C-alpha cells in the first residue's frame, strides 16, 4: 500500500526558556544585512517536528545514496553540504514526482510563513541541499541572510541520533522521514542518546552507522512574519536593555555547546559594534548612521 502523504504527526516543542550565561539574561541575534544593521530579534520560541510519510523506504534509501555520493565527512562531528537540483531529486526518487510539494505541504502545517501554500512551495524550491554529518558539534548558522530564516531538515538516513539545542532544553530523537523546523541561530548539534546531550566524536565512527544524511533548506521570513512569531526585529538598544547576548558573535564549545568568552560579548548590543556586509565582506558601520538604509 503506498504511503499516505497526509498521515503525519506534528509536534510543537517549546523552546522559549533559555539557559543564558551571566551576566546576560536573554538571547537575541543581530544581522549582517544592511536592512537590519542596528536591529536584532529574539530566537523563535518553538521547534516543530513532523513525522512524515510521503517518502517510502525505497525513496529514502535512494535519496540518501545520492546525497552520500556527493559529500565528504571523514571526521566525526563534521558537516558537509552538497547542492542538488529538482531534476536530480526527481531522478533519485522517481516514485515521488512532486517532492517539493510534499515537503511544502508538511511545512505549511507549522504556519511559520502564514497560510498561503505558495509561500512554502516557493521557499522549498528556492534551495534544497543535501547535508551529511557524523554527529554534529554544537554550532549555529548566522551568516549572510540567515538571521532572517528558519531552517528545515528532512532526515533521510540515520539511527540512534538526537537533535539537541542545549540552551533551549530541547532534545529530540530523530527517525528517517522526520521533518524538523527550528531556529538555527540557536546552538544545535547531533548527539548519541547515551551521551547526555554532549556531541562526542568517539561515538560517531566510520561507515554508514556513524553518518546521518538529510535534505535541508531555509524559510525566509519577512519582518511582519517575525513579529507574528513573537520575535520582532527591534533596535539593538531594546535588546541591550534586556541584557541580551548576541548569537551572531557567540562561539560555542563543540562538545558541550557552552558559550565561550562570555565577557567579551558584553558590548554586542550596541550600535558601535554592529556590522553589515555591504560589499561582499564584513565591514564596520559608522555609529549614528541612519537606520536600515546603508545599502541595497
Ligand atoms: Fe546547523
Q: Is residue 278 very low, low, confident or very high in pLDDT (cuts 50, 70, 90)?
A: low
Q: Where are the alpha helices (DSSP H) in 25-126?
A: 57-68, 86-92, 99-108, 117-126
Strand order in the sheet with 161-165: 136-139, 188-191, 161-165, 170-174
Distance 47 CA to ligand 1 centre (A): 14
For residues 163 and 55, give the distance between their C-alpha atoms in angstroms, rounded to a whole number.
21
Distance 65 CA to ligand 1 centre (A): 21
Average pLDDT estimate for 74-82: 87
Distance 238 CA to ligand 1 centre (A): 27
What is the pairing mode between strands 161-165 and 170-174?
antiparallel
Distance 105 CA to ligand 1 centre (A): 23
Distance 287 CA to ligand 1 centre (A): 31
Distance 162 CA to ligand 1 centre (A): 14
First to last CA, the chain: 52
179's grid cell: 521533518
At residue 283, the pLDDT reads 40
Asked if the model's pLDDT at residue 5 lies above 80, the reply is: no
Distance 184 CA to ligand 1 centre (A): 6
Distance 2 CA to ligand 1 centre (A): 33
At residue 207, the pLDDT reads 76
Q: What b/e sequence results for 176-193 when a residue is b if at least 16 CB atoms lie within 10 Å of its CB, and e otherwise?
A: bbbbbbbbbbbbbbbbbe
Distance 111 CA to ligand 1 centre (A): 22
Distance 141 CA to ligand 1 centre (A): 5
* Share above pLDDT 70 across residues of the chain, in percent, rounded to a whole number: 91
Distance 151 CA to ligand 1 centre (A): 8
Average pLDDT estimate for 154-158: 97
At residue 296, the pLDDT reads 24
For residues 227 and 33, give the distance between their C-alpha atoms in angstroms, rounded to a whole number.
18
Pick the CATH number of 9-228 from 3.90.1010.10, 2.60.120.330, 3.40.190.10, 3.40.50.300: 2.60.120.330
Selection from 20, 12, 9, 134 nearest residue 68 by Cα: 134
Q: Is residue 7 very low, low, confident or very high in pLDDT (cuts 50, 70, 90)?
A: low
Distance 288 CA to ligand 1 centre (A): 33
Distance 140 CA to ligand 1 centre (A): 5
- The predicted model scores a pTM of 0.90
Asked if the model's pLDDT at residue 286 lies above 80, the reply is: no
Distance 23 CA to ligand 1 centre (A): 26
DSSP structure string for 189-255: EEE-GGGTT---GGGS-SSGGG-EEEEEEEEE--HHHHHHTT---EEHHHHHHTTEEETTT--B-TT
pLDDT digits (tens, 9 = 90+) for 190-216: 999 999 999 999 999 877 788 999 999
For residues 93 and 177, give the distance between their C-alpha atoms in angstroms, rounded to a whole number.
14
Asked if the model's pLDDT at residue 61 lies above 80, the reply is: yes
Mean pLDDT in the chain? 89
At residue 279, the pLDDT reads 59
Question: If DSSP states are collapsed to H, E and C, what string results for 52-71?
Answer: CCCCCHHHHHHHHHHHHCCC
For residues 137 and 199, give the distance between their C-alpha atoms in angstroms, rounded to a whole number.
6
For residue 201, which phi and psi values (nearest 5 degrees)?
-60, -40
Amino acid at each position: 500500500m503506498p504511503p499516505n502523504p497526509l498521515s503525519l504527526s506534528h509536534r510543537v516543542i517549546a523552546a522559549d526558556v533559555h539557559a543564558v550565561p551571566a551576566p546576560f539574561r536573554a538571547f537575541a541575534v543581530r544581522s549582517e544585512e544592511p536592512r537590519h544593521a542596528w536591529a536584532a530579534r529574539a530566537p523563535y520560541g518553538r521547534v516543530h517536528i513532523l513525522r512524515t510519510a510521503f517518502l517510502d523506504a525505497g525513496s529514502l534509501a535512494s535519496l540518501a545514496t545520492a546525497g552520500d555520493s556527493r559529500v565528504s565527512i571523514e571526521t566525526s562531528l563534521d558537516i558537509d553540504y552538497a547542492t542538488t537540483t529538482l531534476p536530480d531529486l526527481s531522478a533519485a526518487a522517481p516514485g515521488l514526482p512532486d517532492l517539493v510539494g510534499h515537503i511544502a505541504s508538511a511545512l505549511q502545517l507549522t504556519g511559520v510563513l502564514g497560510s498561503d501554500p505558495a509561500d512554502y512551495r516557493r521557499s522549498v524550491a528556492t534551495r534544497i541541499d543535501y547535508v551529511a554529518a557524523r554527529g554534529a558539534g554544537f554550532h549555529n548558522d548566522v551568516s549572510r541572510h540567515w538571521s532572517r530564516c528558519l531552517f528545515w531538515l528532512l532526515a533521510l538516513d540515520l539511527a540512534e541520533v538526537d537533535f539537541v539545542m542545549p540552551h533551549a532544553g530541547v532534545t529530540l530523537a530523530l527517525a528517517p522521514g522526520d521533518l524538523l523546523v527550528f531556529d538555527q541561530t540557536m546552538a544545535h548539534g547531533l548527539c548519541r542518546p547515551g551521551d547526555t546531550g554532549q556531541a562526542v566524536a568517539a561515538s560517531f565512527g566510520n561507515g554508514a552507522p556513524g553518518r546521518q544524511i538529510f535534505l535541508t533548506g531555509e524559510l525566509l521570513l519577512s519582518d511582519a512574519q517575525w513579529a507574528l512569531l513573537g520575535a520582532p526585529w527591534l533596535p539593538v538598544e531594546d535588546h541591550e536593555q534586556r541584557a541580551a547576548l548576541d548569537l551572531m558573535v557567540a562561539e560555542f564549545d563543540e562538545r558541550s555547546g557552552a558559550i565561550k568568552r562570555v565577557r567579551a560579548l558584553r558590548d554586542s548590543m550596541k550600535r558601535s559594534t554592529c556590522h553589515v556586509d555591504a560589499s561582499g565582506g564584513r565591514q564596520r558601520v559608522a555609529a549614528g548612521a541612519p537606520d536600515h538604509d546603508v545599502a541595497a
